[in-house]
Amino acid sequence: MTMACVEPLGVYVHWPFCKTKCPYCDFNSHVREKVEQARWRKALLAELEHAAHEASERQVQSVFFGGGTPSLMEPETVAALIARTRELWNIAADVEITLEANPTSVEAGNFASLAQAGVNRVSLGVQALDAPALRFLGRQHSPDEALVALATARRYFTRVSFDLIYARPGQSPQAWADELERALALAGEHLSLYQLTIERGTRFFAEHARGAFALPAEEEAAQMFEYTQQCLAAAGLPAYEISNHARPGAACRHNLIYWQYQDHVGVGPGAHGRFATADAKRATRRASGPEAWLEAVERSGHGTVETTDVRGRDRVEEALMMGLRLSDGVDRAAFAASAGADPVEALDGQRLARLVEAGFLEIDAMRFKATATGRQRLNALLKWLTA
């Protein structure tokens, strides 16, 4: 399907199922004894067709299979979705196709088939490099399985990333520094390093509330964050976003689409989309519950439960919330094109001046960005900016 327009687009496919629910996870993930794979494949393909009508005049630059645990999808489903994406849209010659995977031996056994299906980048949820930490985090793999999965992934995929979670209970800054040194010895082009947070609705939330465990003190967690930034920059993987580090040119293109407030469509339970219309960003949300979504798609061809047009100040604030996560911040001209207004002109000038003076923001004719100090306090910074 050939189109003249080449506006970038990301396609996100959500697979909502996991073998078990991790105690820290507040994502839209569910445990089911049995999944009708053929039925789900048909429904995902149907909603992909619907998404192509929502945002048709685009060039797909990235496809991302997230979850849940998308490495539990049958490779046949992944292959069918990739092939249909190529038929429905103009697609970039160097399209990035990422799949999230857990490093168990069963899932690593599918890597060859997934690569053959068209996946060219994999993101492994390693999360920790020692057995007690993995047990605490509710992970189903061992440290040895993680190492084997990493080696297997590198045989089949041109690009490999993995995740770690730090600031765990009982973890000192020195213990994290030691773990990070081991991670760097295993790292390729990309690492995602997340500070453990306690999210409402998770098992950890209830356990933490009753005092079953305590997180490191705020000062210790800040030390871990600052050391992470310095250590990875020195190793050639500087932070391009608060929690994501990459060698030059190796940033996750799909996530950059989100953070740069470019267009994306969402397929699957709970998936969100944002794509430009004549004067707004259209926001879509699919039904979250797997069964409710499946029934809606089989009835109507899609599982959309909410569609709104984001305009004016809301559009600016939404774009800022994403763009200020990036180390480079936002390009003011690109921001104006995607958000409908220049960020400096849209916000209170006196408040901006105070935040620049305090060392939280840097603004020049080209860029608008949070400093390292500002990114470490991003939620508070956004409140100050948009008050």
Choose the CATH number for 323-387 among 2.60.40, 2.70.98, 3.90.1530, 1.10.10.
Answer: 1.10.10
Domain boundaries, the chain: 8-257, 323-387
- Under DSSP, the state recorded for 137 is T
Distance CA 150, CA 187 (A): 9
Distance between first and last Cα of the chain: 46
Residue 24: closest CA among 139, 137, 124: 137
Beta bridge partners of 266: 12
According to DSSP, the β-strands at 244-246 and 190-195 are antiparallel
pLDDT value of residue 6: 74
Residue 4 has what pLDDT? 44
Q: How far apart are the C-alpha atoms of 173 and 292, rounded to whole Å?
A: 44
Please determine whether the domains at 8-257 and 323-387 fall in the same fold group of CATH.
no
Taking the C-alpha atoms of residue 182 and residue 86, their distance in angstroms, rounded to an integer, is 39
Identify the pLDDT of residue 106: 77
Q: What is the pLDDT of residue 3?
A: 40
Residue 152 CA to residue 327 CA, distance in Å, equals: 32
DSSP result, 322-359: HHTTBTT-EEHHHHHHHHSS-HHHHS-HHHHHHHHHTT
> C-alpha 227: how far from its chain's center?
23
**What pLDDT is attached to residue 24?**
97
Lowest mean pLDDT among 187-191, 357-361, 376-380: 376-380
pLDDT at 329 over 70: yes
pLDDT tens digits, residue range 333-349?
A: 999 999 999 999 999 99
The pLDDT-based confidence of 328 (bands split at 50, 70, 90) is very high
The dihedral sign for the CA sequence 57, 60, 65, 67: negative
Per-residue pLDDT of 85-114, as tens digits, reads 999 999 999 999 999 999 987 788 899 999
Report d(CA 22, CA 193) in Å as an integer. Answer: 17
Strands 304-310, 330-331: pairing is unpaired
Confidence check: pLDDT of 5 > 80: no
What value does the mean pLDDT take over residues 180-187? 96
Q: How far apart are CA 93 and CA 251, in angstroms?
A: 18
The tokens of 5 are what? 């327009």
Can you name the CATH fold of 8-257?
TIM Barrel (3.20.20)
Angle, CA 66 vertex, CA 65 and CA 68 arms, to 5°: 135
